[in-house]
């Protein structure tokens, strides 16, 4: 019995998961700081004299009655309160610390006692906001109740100012458009998930400096008044107690006037149902104010404000204003009293905003349509320069990849001081050379097909050349990143080169004619190309293993691409963001982002991005999230696209690869082996037998063979994976540790313990040379201890396991689930030394750690429960043994298990049943034990001997 299957589960086929153990110990980055808007006032329309003067800057809100929030003394749930930041009529905002995620947050504690429907409604709406992830919306992290009846919301802290303070500096109208476009994108994102803000105003937009770009970043905050737009509210009751002050009263039900009077729409004044166009009205009031330094209408009472909001009359622009007419017209449309006359959606308003700005830029620069033609159909002019008609490929790619850059990259790698830097560069350099040569060859072939052989139209040549130009810029972005290589880039250099966009897409005539590169109008070509350059740089960073660093830039790029409405850019930006989110561990966010990218690619007929997006969605949903049924429509969609494109070998191999990964996650060994084996054959056909792409597939197939008891086949696959990995990365690269570990497992299953220990010791030496405190060093020492125990050396095993335990406890803490395996191994060794109390204590400790981290029904509890059952039997406690082994079998029932381990469980059950007098059931359990141990081959020999001896004794 051992913990081998735990380690074999670390046979990850994709690089982004190889650092998962390390990432569990890394502190979360500390976010920025701000309280958001806290100056709020509540209004009760059924007790308000609408002729009374009101503070039109203050928020009116639908919150429960009950007085001020009762502040917590030191803690609120898990949060440690630091200080109060502000208070208003709707709630009090505190600065707090979240120890679970190691970050500071803003806690808004709402005033009044929230019970029943009101409490449920507020919590539901805060939870809806927590599911909204957008760079222009202040994130909501958590929602709960304080003292049972006061709702609190935990939000991000954003350092900076608010839009009102920034407007006071009187920015130019061009700057106003940039900032409001971001705020509008935040509102549009909320509208897309069914939320309406209902209190948009300058105070509720926070501004900070984006670390990635150095530019202002706008985030919409304080959705405390938000309601789902599909929920229609009954009208407010008639006014009561007309003399009540607007500053003193609160409302306790739906149907109230909600918002800030100066920014409220006619429908809000009327207390009727709102929808996203309500936010559009408030947005345009604020936009008008930012452009002209005054609001489009004013009033001292609610009645006066309501009357002017319902009127079509608006304040005229001040004399001498530089605001262009197109921008003024956008404001006026959004300020229409009849919401049917406004823009149908916030996205439509933002599109006009960006289109107007683009027209001005084209006039100012004298671009007209020339830049678009150069960017999209510029292949001919670009191709026809340089030496000869079609001989300029080497010169063009040579401008990106030459000896000077090669030397600079090699020096950058060496400067990191990593022991495997030279090997990593030796593996990556030939792949870069190959990409450059392939680019040159395709350039010359593209030109010759038209200019020499006359087989291809000039229009198609232009499209192919434009595609190649994009690829060359992607190549340049990666080379630039490699020139500035740090340790992470050195580690993932080969993967980054493999991840370069393939050149085969530049030969797909049908896709080029109908896809993203086909000539289509672009509102702002200069800005589009600038965005594309930023996307290339961020995408290169993410492919080199720096996804977390690239996230902010990719989020900003995707947002700007959406606002710009560039059909050749939006889907690609969303897809790049989804890949980075996936690699950073944000799988749910990646799923949502990728779905949007896929449908955008469908709309734009962008087959290349569509294909990549479908593969990524299959991997995220089907493998990482383990939702096979939910992934099936994406699998079917990808297969349909594959058939439409003629099922080229490369694409079919990719599809089979991902189908196989989904099968692995679902525990379908047979399905996984069939798909992955076919994918390997196709990859070998396309890329050759030594390509680095094969490493992950070989590991995946080997792990499947291992779980299925095919140990020699698994060994051969792992040996090949080690050889390919070493060729791609060098002999000291950390990526070698896992295939070496898997190789050791396959050798151990064949009772080749000395060879297994040698493979593990090599793996340990590689990791220790890079970082002696790496938790994986402890995991591998744990496995060495397990091998020693299985080879009949329990005393030596305990020495190694003690060192592994100390290492892991120092690196991960006392209760990390990765430490549980050490205790199971210790239990095995102490059992073999007849120290039954010590063995029981170790098994119980391992089970307790896993149960706390994973829950009582997790399959990983199987082996420590089996260990306890074995000690029960040795101490003549068969009833207790039966309870432990039945629970073990129940836990592992839904998992794919090593047949040797499963056979030992059935053997323990048979022994317990016979000892309790259930001879018939014991015979059936013994039969199952023999069947499982037989499937385990040589790995089951030890258990088979125990079974034979026990049956003979009966």
User: Is residue 369 over pLDDT 70?
Assistant: no
* pLDDT at residue 16 in the model: 33
Which has more pLDDT, 568 or 407?
407
Highest mean pLDDT among 66-70, 257-261, 512-516, 862-866: 862-866
User: Is residue 474 over pLDDT 70?
Assistant: yes
What is the rounded CA–CA span in Å between residue 705 and residue 255?
64
User: Is residue 43 over pLDDT 70?
Assistant: no
Highest mean pLDDT among 52-56, 673-677, 934-938: 673-677
Q: Which two tokens stand for residue 853?
A: 């981290």
* pLDDT at residue 313 in the model: 83
User: Is residue 937 over pLDDT 60?
Assistant: yes
Average pLDDT score over residue span 491-514: 85
Least confident of 41-50, 407-416, 644-653, 893-902: 41-50
Q: Are 341 and 322 in contact (CB under 8 A)?
A: no
Q: Are 763 and 726 in contact (CB under 8 A)?
A: no
Neighbouring CB atoms inside 10 A of 388's CB total 11
Average pLDDT score over residue span 113-119: 56
CATH topology for the 45-155 domain: Phosphorylase Kinase; domain 1 (3.30.200)
* pLDDT at residue 461 in the model: 86
User: Is residue 273 over pLDDT 60?
Assistant: yes
Taking the domains of the chain in order of start, what are their residue ranges?
45-155, 161-365, 856-954
Q: Which two tokens stand for residue 14?
A: 């994709």
Complete edge-to-edge strand list for the sheet that includes strand 161-162: 161-162, 205-209, 216-220
Confidence of residue 436 (pLDDT cuts 50, 70, 90): very high
* pLDDT at residue 250 in the model: 26
Least confident of 95-109, 581-595, 625-639: 95-109
User: Is residue 781 over pLDDT 60?
Assistant: yes
Which has more pLDDT, 379 or 551?
551
* pLDDT at residue 382 in the model: 35
Alpha helices in 172-272 (DSSP H): 173-192, 266-270
Average pLDDT score over residue span 466-489: 92
The distance of Cα 605 from the centroid of its chain, to the nearest Å, equals 25
* pLDDT at residue 440 in the model: 93
* pLDDT at residue 319 in the model: 83
User: Is residue 13 over pLDDT 70?
Assistant: no
* pLDDT at residue 64 in the model: 39
Which is nearest to 331 in space by CA: 290, 364, 270, 275?
290
User: Is residue 375 over pLDDT 90?
Assistant: no
User: Is residue 630 over pLDDT 90?
Assistant: yes
pLDDT tens for residues 71-81? Answer: 566 888 888 88
Neighbouring CB atoms inside 10 A of 201's CB total 24
Average pLDDT score over residue span 252-256: 34
Q: Are 473 and 501 in contact (CB under 8 A)?
A: no
User: Is residue 572 over pLDDT 70?
Assistant: yes
Least confident of 560-569, 723-732, 862-871, 903-912: 560-569
* pLDDT at residue 483 in the model: 93
Which is nearest to 870 in space by CA: 916, 820, 907?
907
Phi, psi values for residue 224, rounded to 5°: -60, -20
Confidence of residue 893 (pLDDT cuts 50, 70, 90): confident
CA atoms within 13 A on the CB side of 240: 7
Q: How many residues does the chain have?
A: 954
* pLDDT at residue 113 in the model: 58
User: Is residue 753 over pLDDT 80?
Assistant: yes
Which has more pLDDT, 696 or 122?
696
Mean pLDDT, rounded, of the chain:
81
Q: Are 881 and 920 in contact (CB under 8 A)?
A: no
CATH topology for the 856-954 domain: 1.25.40
* pLDDT at residue 123 in the model: 67
Secondary structure element (H or E) that encloses residue 154, with its range: strand 150-155
State the residue for tokens 């008891």. 709
Average pLDDT score over residue span 783-809: 94
Annotate 70-134 with DSSP letters as a single string.
Answer: ---SSEETTEEEEEEEEE-SSEEEEEEEETTTTEEEEEEEESS---HHHHHHHHHHHHHHHT---
Which has more pLDDT, 924 or 62?
924
* pLDDT at residue 475 in the model: 94
Confidence of residue 248 (pLDDT cuts 50, 70, 90): very low
Confidence of residue 378 (pLDDT cuts 50, 70, 90): very low
Q: Is 199 marked active-site? A: yes
Question: Strands 161-162, 140-146: parallel, antiparallel or unpaired by DSSP?
Answer: unpaired
The DSSP bridge partners found for residue 413 are none
What is the rounded CA–CA span in Å between residue 122 and residue 119?
5
Which is nearest to 626 in space by CA: 662, 594, 591?
662
* pLDDT at residue 731 in the model: 86
Secondary structure element (H or E) that encloses residue 145, with its range: strand 140-146
Which is nearest to 284 in space by CA: 187, 395, 382, 162?
187
Q: At CA 719, angle to CA 717 and CA 723, rounded to 5? A: 115
The DSSP bridge partners found for residue 426 are none
Least confident of 22-36, 428-442, 624-638, 781-795: 22-36
Confidence of residue 15 (pLDDT cuts 50, 70, 90): very low
* pLDDT at residue 159 in the model: 74
* pLDDT at residue 70 in the model: 54
Secondary structure element (H or E) that encloses residue 195, with its range: strand 195-196
* pLDDT at residue 88 in the model: 59
User: Is residue 166 over pLDDT 90?
Assistant: yes
pLDDT tens for residues 810-847? Answer: 988 888 888 999 999 999 999 999 999 999 999 999 99
User: Is residue 940 over pLDDT 90?
Assistant: no
Question: Strands 227-228, 103-110: parallel, antiparallel or unpaired by DSSP?
Answer: unpaired
Would you give the DSSP letter of residue 235? Answer: P
What is the rounded CA–CA span in Å between residue 447 and residue 465?
8
Q: Say if residue 108 carries a ligand binding annotation.
A: yes
Confidence of residue 853 (pLDDT cuts 50, 70, 90): confident
Share of the chain above pLDDT 90, in %: 46
Average pLDDT score over residue span 783-810: 94
Is 904 strand, coil or helix? helix
pLDDT tens for residues 205-240? Answer: 989 887 656 788 899 987 755 554 444 444 333 333
* pLDDT at residue 161 in the model: 83
CATH topology for the 161-365 domain: Transferase(Phosphotransferase); domain 1 (1.10.510)
Q: Which residues of 684-700 are buried (b: 16+ CB within 10 A; e: fewer)?
A: bebbeeebbbbbbbbbb
User: Is residue 39 over pLDDT 60?
Assistant: no
CA atoms within 13 A on the CB side of 747: 21
User: Cβ contacts of residue 21 below 8 Å, gap of 6+?
Assistant: 10, 775, 776, 779, 818
What is the rounded CA–CA span in Å between residue 405 and residue 774?
33
pLDDT tens for residues 292-326? Answer: 999 999 888 888 899 999 988 898 888 888 898 88
Confidence of residue 197 (pLDDT cuts 50, 70, 90): confident
* pLDDT at residue 589 in the model: 93
Neighbouring CB atoms inside 10 A of 140's CB total 24
User: Is residue 486 over pLDDT 60?
Assistant: yes
User: Cβ contacts of residue 590 below 8 Å, gap of 6+?
Assistant: 578, 579, 581, 582, 616, 620
* pLDDT at residue 164 in the model: 93
Average pLDDT score over residue span 866-886: 96
Neighbouring CB atoms inside 10 A of 836's CB total 16
User: Is residue 669 over pLDDT 90?
Assistant: no
* pLDDT at residue 302 in the model: 85
What is the rounded CA–CA span in Å between residue 542 and residue 496?
8
Q: Is the torsion defined by CA of 51, 53, 55, 60 positive or negative?
A: negative
- Could you check whether 45-155 and 856-954 share the same CATH topology? no
Catalytic residue of the set 2, 199, 612, 828: 199
Secondary structure element (H or E) that encloses residue 207, with its range: strand 205-209
Q: Is the torsion defined by CA of 479, 485, 490, 492 positive or negative?
A: negative
Q: Are 191 and 200 in contact (CB under 8 A)?
A: no
Neighbouring CB atoms inside 10 A of 879's CB total 10
What is the rounded CA–CA span in Å between residue 9 and residue 860?
11
Which has more pLDDT, 355 or 280?
280
Would you give the DSSP letter of residue 205? Answer: E
Q: Is the torsion defined by CA of 616, 617, 620, 622 positive or negative?
A: negative
Q: Which two tokens stand for residue 795?
A: 């005393």
Q: Are 517 and 568 in contact (CB under 8 A)?
A: yes
């Amino acid at each position: 019995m051992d913990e081998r299957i735990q380690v074999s589960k670390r046979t990850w086929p994709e690089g982004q998961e190889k650092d998962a153990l390390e990432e569990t110990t890394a502190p979360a980055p500390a976010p920025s700081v701000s309280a958001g808007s806290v100056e709020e006032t509540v209004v009760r329309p059924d007790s308000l004299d609408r002729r009374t003067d009101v503070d039109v800057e203050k928020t009116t809100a639908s919150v429960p009655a009950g007085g001020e929030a009762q502040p917590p003394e030191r803690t609120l749930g898990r949060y440690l309160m630091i200080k109060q930041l502000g208070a208003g009529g709707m709630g009090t905002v505190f600065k707090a610390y979240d120890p679970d995620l190691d970050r500071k947050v803003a806690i808004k504690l709402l005033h009044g006692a929230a019970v029943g429907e009101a409490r449920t409604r507020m919590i539901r709406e805060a939870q809806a906001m927590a599911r909204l992830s957008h760079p222009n919306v202040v994130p909501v992290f958590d929602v709960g109740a304080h003292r049972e009846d006061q709702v609190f919301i935990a939000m991000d802290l954003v350092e900076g100012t608010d839009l009102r303070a920034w407007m006071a500096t009187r920015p130019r109208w061009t700057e106003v458009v940039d900032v409001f476009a971001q705020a509008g994108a935040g509102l549009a994102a909320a509208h897309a998930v069914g939320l309406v803000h209902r209190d948009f105003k300058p105070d509720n937009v926070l501004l900070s400096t984006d670390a990635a770009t150095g530019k202002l970043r706008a985030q919409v905050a304080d959705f405390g008044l938000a309601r789902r737009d599909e929920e229609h509210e009954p009208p407010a009751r008639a006014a009561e107690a007309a003399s009540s002050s607007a500053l003193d009263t609160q409302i306790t039900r739906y149907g109230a006037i909600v918002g800030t009077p100066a920014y409220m729409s006619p429908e809000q004044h009327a207390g009727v149902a709102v929808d996203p166009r309500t936010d559009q009205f408030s947005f345009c009031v604020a936009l008008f104010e930012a452009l002209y330094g005054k609001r489009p209408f004013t009033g001292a009472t609610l009645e006066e404000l309501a009357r002017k909001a319902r009127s079509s009359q608006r304040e005229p622009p001040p004399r001498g204003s530089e605001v262009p007419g197109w921008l003024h017209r956008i404001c006026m449309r959004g300020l229409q009293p009849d919401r049917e006359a406004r823009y149908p959606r916030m996205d439509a308003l933002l599109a006009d905003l960006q289109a107007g700005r683009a027209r001005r830029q084209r006039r100012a620069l004298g671009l007209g349509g020339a830049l678009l033609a150069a960017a999209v159909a510029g292949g001919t002019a670009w191709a026809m320069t340089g030496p000869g008609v079609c001989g300029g490929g080497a010169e063009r790619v040579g401008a990106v990849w030459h000896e000077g850059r090669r030397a600079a990259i090699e020096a950058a790698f060496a400067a990191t001081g990593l022991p495997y830097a030279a090997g990593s560069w030796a593996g990556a350099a030939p792949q870069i050379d190959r990409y450059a040569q392939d680019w040159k060859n395709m350039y010359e072939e593209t030109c010759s097909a038209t200019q020499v052989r006359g087989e291809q139209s000039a229009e198609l040549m232009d499209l192919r050349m434009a595609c190649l130009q994009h690829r060359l810029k992607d190549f340049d972005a990666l080379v630039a990143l490699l020139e500035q290589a740090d340790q992470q880039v050195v580690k993932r250099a080969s993967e980054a080169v493999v991840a370069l966009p393939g050149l085969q897409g530049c030969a797909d005539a049908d896709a080029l004619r109908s896809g993203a590169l086909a000539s289509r109008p672009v509102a702002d070509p200069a800005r589009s190309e600038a965005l594309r350059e930023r996307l290339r740089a961020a995408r290169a960073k993410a492919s080199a293993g720096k996804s977390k660093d690239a996230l902010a830039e990719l989020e900003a790029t995707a947002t700007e691409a959406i606002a710009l409405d560039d059909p050749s850019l939006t889907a690609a930006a969303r897809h790049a963001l989804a890949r980075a989110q996936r690699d950073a561990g944000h799988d749910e966010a990646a799923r949502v982002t990728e779905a949007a990218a896929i449908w955008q690619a469908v709309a734009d007929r962008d087959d290349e991005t569509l294909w990549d997006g479908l593969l990524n969605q299959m991997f995220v949903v089907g493998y990482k999230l383990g939702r096979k049924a939910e992934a099936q429509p994406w699998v079917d969609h990808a297969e349909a696209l594959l058939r439409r494109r003629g099922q080229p070998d490369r694409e079919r191999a990719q599809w089979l690869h991902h189908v196989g990964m989904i099968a692995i996650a679902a525990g379908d060994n047979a399905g996984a082996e069939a798909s992955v084996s076919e994918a390997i054959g196709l990859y070998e056909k396309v890329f050759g037998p030594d390509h680095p792409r094969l490493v992950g597939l070989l590991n995946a197939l080997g792990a499947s063979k291992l779980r299925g008891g095919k140990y020699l086949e698994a060994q051969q696959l792992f040996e090949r994976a080690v050889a390919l990995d070493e060729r791609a990365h060098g002999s000291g690269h950390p990526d070698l540790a896992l295939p070496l570990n898997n190789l050791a497992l396959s050798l151990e299953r064949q009772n080749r313990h000395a060879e297994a220990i040698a493979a593990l010791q090599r793996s340990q030496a590689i990791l220790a040379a890079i970082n002696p405190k790496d938790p994986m060093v402890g995991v591998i020492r744990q496995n060495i201890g397990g091998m020693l125990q299985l080879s009949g050396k329990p005393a030596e095993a305990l020495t190694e396991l003690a060192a592994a335990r100390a290492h892991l406890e120092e690196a991960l803490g006392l209760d990390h689930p990765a430490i549980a395996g050490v205790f199971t191994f210790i239990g095995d060794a102490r059992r073999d030394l007849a120290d039954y109390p010590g063995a029981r204590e170790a098994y119980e400790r391992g089970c307790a750690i896993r149960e706390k981290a994973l829950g009582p029904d997790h399959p990983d509890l199987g082996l420590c429960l089996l260990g306890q059952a074995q000690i029960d039997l040795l101490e003549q406690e068969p009833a207790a043994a039966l309870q432990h082994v039945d629970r073990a079998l129940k836990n592992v029932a839904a998992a794919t298990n090593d047949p040797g381990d499963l056979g030992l469980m059935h053997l323990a059950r048979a022994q317990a049943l016979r000892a309790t007098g259930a001879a018939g059931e014991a015979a059936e359990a013994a039969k199952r034990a023999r069947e499982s141990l037989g499937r385990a081959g040589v790995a089951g020999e030890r258990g088979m001997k125990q079974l034979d001896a026990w049956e003979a004794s009966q």
